[in-house]
Amino acid sequence: MKELIYLLACNVNGTVPDSSRFCNMDIHDLYLMAKKHSVRALICDELEKVGINDRDFINAKLNAIRKCALFDLERGIILNKLENRHIWYMPLKGIILMNYYPKSYLREMADNDILFDAERRADVKELFENSGYNTISYRIRYRDVYNKGKEPVLSFEMHTGLYGHAHGSRFYGFYDYYSDVKSRLIKDENNVFGYHFSDEDFYIYMTSHEYKHFTLGGTGIRSLLDCYVYLKEKGNDIDFGYIVKQCESLGIAGFEAERRALALKVFTGGYIEDLSEDEYRLLNKYIKAGTYGTINGFVKNRLDEQYKSSGRRSKLAYICKRIFIPLDLMSESVPFVNNNPLLYPFGVIVRLCRAIREKREAIRHECNALKEYKNK
């Protein structure tokens, strides 16, 4: 992991790696770690600078370049169609962050995330389907998913909001904060219906989004790197007084401060030897999680929450809570329950059937993770 972090720091700071550090390095282990954290293209760039040309890394880099080019082209087409239909929109997360990396393809992405006018949801569905996309999910919570083509799949997650009740009660404050998200947006200058966050509000959103993943199933080194890259680009010009105040209102000020300090300390020079015990413990959480977190991390965090509230960990209580979710979450997940709460039992059946059909492998992993814990 030391070498991975060192190479990441070299890349985003424009420094050439010290080749002597890689004489006895296990390239395959480095590849697996880079894959886990979605930074293979970035690491490949640095290895090539010291004369290391590994086939797996090179293939991953070429795929990242191809996928980035396809995403850019298709995203331009989709945004143009939103413009033509007079639907307001705002690109989110990686679409913005990739512009602050030395090369855009280095910030690998699984899909395109775009916020849009919730009142035009049906029109957007028609737009995608007329463009050859398959509808993967529609009106399930606050985002719709559309895919097209063979690997790498062109995937769009179209958001009608930034947070939903399905994330759980701890994030209701996030939901309230962003309930009227458009009032926080700034109109683009080079189009008619596009919007963007201010630099401060983008940082607050990326922090809240990271916090959500961090506390649910975990999030990896790339999130910490995103923070560093954004601060390196914007840090001297943004109003941290405003940021801290808003993060306090969201209940994430402590997380923001600790994450920011760690990102700056780790990636300014790429060394982790001088970290304090608390800083190393926080870094280790990022290292263990991987880009999208882990099922084990999700289960552990839920059981730890259960222990804090009731003083015990119960597998049965965990399973019941996963199946019999609160009414507001059920209404968001299964829309017909919102019209008639008496249909809640049928909502439970619909969610279970949908999960078995669409998330069978994830359920198996979650059950296996749950087996590792004892009731106590």
Q: Does position 295 have pLDDT exceeding 80, yes or no?
A: no
Q: Report residue 235's pLDDT band, with 50, 70 and 90 as the boundaries.
A: confident
**DSSP string across 217-233:** T---HHHHHHHHHHHHH
Per-residue pLDDT averaged across 36-48, rounded?
A: 94
Question: How distant, in Å, are the alpha carbons of 36, 89, 185, 187, 348 from that of 81?
Answer: 35, 11, 21, 18, 37
Q: Does position 158 have pLDDT exceeding 70, yes or no?
A: yes
Q: Does position 59 have pLDDT exceeding 90, yes or no?
A: yes
Per-residue pLDDT averaged across 116-127, rounded?
A: 97
Per-residue tokens: 360: 């069978």
Q: Report residue 296's pLDDT band, with 50, 70 and 90 as the boundaries.
A: low
Max mean pLDDT among 186-190, 300-304, 368-372 falls in 186-190
**Radius of gyration over every alpha carbon of the chain, rounded to an integer in angstroms:** 22
pLDDT, tens digit, 9 for 90 and up, residues 354-367: 888 877 777 776 77
Question: How distant, in Å, are the alpha carbons of 8, 35, 44 from that of 21?
Answer: 14, 21, 15
CB-CB contact of 315 with 373 (8 Å): yes
pLDDT cut 70: percent of the chain above it: 90
Report the C-alpha gap between 114 and 90 in whole angstroms.
6
Per-residue pLDDT averaged across 105-113, rounded?
A: 92
- The chain-wide mean pLDDT, for the chain, equals 88
pLDDT cut 90: percent of the chain above it: 59
CA nearest to 113, candidates 158, 51, 152:
158
pLDDT value of position 78: 97
CA nearest to 97, candidates 113, 78, 83, 82:
113
CB-CB contact of 144 with 125 (8 Å): yes
Q: Report residue 270's pLDDT band, with 50, 70 and 90 as the boundaries.
A: confident
pLDDT value of position 82: 98
